[in-house]
Amino acid sequence: MGCANPVTLTAGTPLAQAEARLGRPNYTCQLNDGRERLIWSRQPFGQFAWGTNVNADGTISGVEALLTDNNFSKLAQGDWTAEQVLCEFGPPAEKGRVGLPSNLQIVWSYRYQQAGVWNSMMHVYLGKDGKKVTRFHPGPDPMYEKDNWPFF
């Protein structure tokens, strides 16, 4: 994707033109309405991902930044399945489990810049079975902690 700022691609741009500029997306999925969702993600080590939907006429709905506080706030509305999380944000940087052995929960973590500044991870909890979002919250990204830097 180079230095291209994908957010400048507006609604109505032909898909072929978007892919010529951004390259092939690294994640795709089908939306409930039959349209295809395309995601260009910098996970697992980058902090950015962009997405768009392909309309029936072969144009895109515009490209938007996905890993933002505002976009993550959508998780507070309604019930989200793991598949819906993937289709909205793309693959997470990390997948893990937290909790006591009797109550382990699956957690997907996305690297991003909280408030556009702080090196953070958004932790999305998917319950014991990994099927439905139970809660989410940001936290510091340990990759940026001084003790984890190889040159100190």
Taken in order 91, 100, 81, 88, the sign of the CA dihedral is: negative
Q: How far apart are CA 128 and CA 132, in angstroms?
A: 9
110-121 pLDDT, tens per residue?
999 999 999 999
- Cα dist from 6 to 62, 64, 76, 93, 112, whole Å: 9, 8, 27, 20, 17
Q: Is the CB of residue 54 less than 8 Å from the CB of residue 60?
A: yes
pLDDT at 109 over 50: yes
Find out if CATH 3.30.1450 is the number for domain 78-148. Answer: yes
Q: Is the pLDDT of residue 7 over 90?
A: no
Confidence of residue 4 (pLDDT cuts 50, 70, 90): low
Please give the angle made by the CA atoms of 124, 125 and 131, to the nearest 5 degrees: 110
For the entire predicted model, the pTM comes to: 0.90
Model pLDDT, residue 152: 46
The residue with greater pLDDT, 1 or 24, is: 24
pLDDT recorded at residue 84: 97
Is it true that 6-65 and 78-148 share their CATH fold?
yes
Q: Spell out the residues 6+ positions from residue 80 whose beta carbon is closer than 8 angstroms to its own.
A: 88, 132, 133
**Residues near 84 by Cβ (< 8 Å), separated by ≥ 6?**
none
Amino acid at 37: R
Structure confidence by residue, pLDDT tens digits, 29-60: 999 999 999 999 999 999 999 999 999 999 99
How high is the pLDDT of residue 145? 81
Architecture category of domain 6-65 in CATH? 2-Layer Sandwich (3.30)
Going from N- to C-terminal start, the domains of the chain cover: 6-65, 78-148
- As a whole number, the mean pLDDT across the chain is 92
